[in-house]
Amino acid sequence: MHTLNVALGERSYPIHIGRGLLDRVRLILPHLKTPRVAIVTNDVVGPLYLGKLRDALEAQGIRVCQVVLPDGEAHKDWSTLNLVFDMLLEQRCERSTTLIALGGGVVGDMGGFAAACYQRGMPFVQIPTTLLSQVDSSVGGKTAINHPRGKNMIGAFYQPRLVLADTDVLSTLPPRELTAGLAEVIKYGLIRDPGFFEWLESNIERVLMREPEALAFAIERSCANKAEVVAADETEQGERALLNLGHTFGHAIETGLGYGEWLHGEAIAAGTMMAAELSRRLGWLADADIARIESLFIRAGLPTVGPVLGVERYLELMSHDKKVEAGRLRLVLLKAIGAAVVHGDAPQTDIAAAIEARCR
Ligand SMILES: NC(=O)c1ccc[n+]([C@@H]2O[C@H](COP(=O)([O-])OP(=O)(O)OC[C@H]3O[C@@H](n4cnc5c(N)ncnc54)[C@H](O)[C@@H]3O)[C@@H](O)[C@H]2O)c1
Ligand SMILES: O=C(O)C(=O)C[C@@H](O)[C@H](O)[C@H](O)COP(=O)(O)O
Ligand SMILES: [Zn+2]
């Protein structure tokens, strides 16, 4: 097991990464306030892992209740979130009960938001079960649901007390979902870790083959990057915005298509190519850089062009981005592979041309 720390003063927490961690529920016990937990999962992950987690917790004398949500990004909404509150109230959960999110980023984002809201905040533990959630969404405390007009529009910053990433559960993850997670892995190399980008260029096939060593390294290095950024800027006043590379464009794709047709990671890959193309037009990236980024995404199995929504529609959707300030779009762009910046002065014509160039 490899352990990292998210350094946030008295709200610091460990990220445990390793094989067989679902069998080691003792790791969770020190983080519970009382011997009561409420597990939030979904109807895909539940049948695979809920019984195991529940039995193991009960064997330790923990009282467990649960809610099994419908699967999918399309259900990351108010009505599904309410199912969590219904269960917490029906089961008479208290403010001291710990909510455990067992699932991918959708379950983690919704479980975390429910934990932030229920009785104004209950302890929260993340057990991420997708590559994307193990490398990104379980760490850092961004929680949210979607609105038909915009992605993650209603949410809160609310940190977990523990992240427990059992890499064995990735064995049941469909290949398309593994690939989607790689978009966020590649993101860390692009925004701040050029050595990791080079490692991915040499090892992406090993990760795709789920070679345990390569997978563990990719997850650990990703989490180390994310933990550093979050510790430096928990609520995205500055540096944390870099974690949004490709997301202003990518969220427009997800919202424009109505959530779920494109996976988050797929939309982020296409959105990152739009951001890279804009960076090239601003004279920051060379053609050779674009070719390297595109080649890595293609080898990972990710899309490098977005759907044709119409440039005007992209721009309208992007205008709801959370980084917009005084009506001005602020985009994460690349000065080089491994060096990102937030830029608020890109000419509208260049933004439009970058979208156009990267749509099919
Ligand atoms: N909070 C953050 O910082 C943050 C960061 C990145 C992404 N996100 C959010 O995360 C979501 C995407 O997360 P995701 O990619 O994990 O998608 P997801 O949660 O929809 O999971 C993907 C699919 O895999 C299934 N699944 C999960 N674990 C499995 C397993 N071990 N075996 C088999 N199937 C399994 C799920 O049921 C689902 O069908 C998006 O809503 C995105 O906005 C949040
Ligand atoms: O943790 C962050 O900060 C991120 O931006 C990580 C992203 O990968 C993630 O998709 C996040 O939910 C996007 O945040 P949002 O604020 O643009 O909704
Ligand atoms: Zn993301």
Report, as an integer, the average pLDDT of 74-88: 98
- Give 132-154 pLDDT, tens digit per residue: 999 999 999 999 999 999 999 99
Sketch the domain layout of the chain as residue ranges: 2-172, 175-357
What is the C-alpha separation between 166 and 127, in angstroms, rounded? 8
Please name which of 233, 219, 236 lies closest in space to residue 4, comparing C-alpha atoms.
219
| Residue range 2-172 in CATH 3.40.50.1970 | yes
Residue 211, SS3?
Answer: coil
Q: Which residues are annotated as a binding site for Zn(2+)?
A: 184, 247, 264
The residue-averaged pLDDT of 256-283 equals 98
Q: 168-219 pLDDT, tens per residue? A: 999 999 999 999 999 999 999 999 999 999 999 999 999 999 999 999 999 9
Pocket test of ligand 2: the residue of 147, 185, 247, 342 to mutate, having most ligand atoms within 8 Å of its CB, is 247
* Distance from residue 58's CA to the centre of ligand 3 (Å): 34
pLDDT value of position 347: 97
Mean pLDDT on 315-334: 97
247 lines ligand 2 (CB under 6 A): yes
234 lines ligand 2 (CB under 6 A): no
Per-residue pLDDT at 308: 97
pLDDT at 25 over 90: yes
Kindly give the number of the ligand 2 atom that is closest to the alpha carbon of 244. 5
CA distance from start to end of the chain: 43
For residue 53, give every residue at least 6 positions away whose Cβ sits within 8 Å of its Cβ, in sequence order, or none: 22, 25, 39, 100, 102, 127
- pTM beyond 0.95, yes or no: yes
Distance CA 300, CA 200 (A): 10
Q: Strand, coil or helix: what is 182? A: helix
CATH architecture of the domain with range 175-357: Up-down Bundle (1.20)
Tokens coding 123: 């302890």
The reply to whether ligand 2 has any atom less than 6 angstroms from the CB of 240 is: yes
Burial pattern 171-189, b for ≥16 Cβ within 10 A else e, equals eebeeebbbbbbbbbbbbb
Rounded-to-integer distance, Cα 213 and Cα 172, Å: 17
Pair 286, 294: CB distance under 8 Å = no
| Cα 294 to Cα 314: distance, rounded to the nearest angstrom | 21
Percent of the chain whose predicted confidence (pLDDT) is above 90: 100
pLDDT(360) > 90: no
Active site positions, annotated: 120, 142, 184, 226, 236, 240, 244, 247, 251, 264
Task: Report CA(133)–ligand 3 centroid distance (Å).
Answer: 9
| The pLDDT of residue 253 | 98
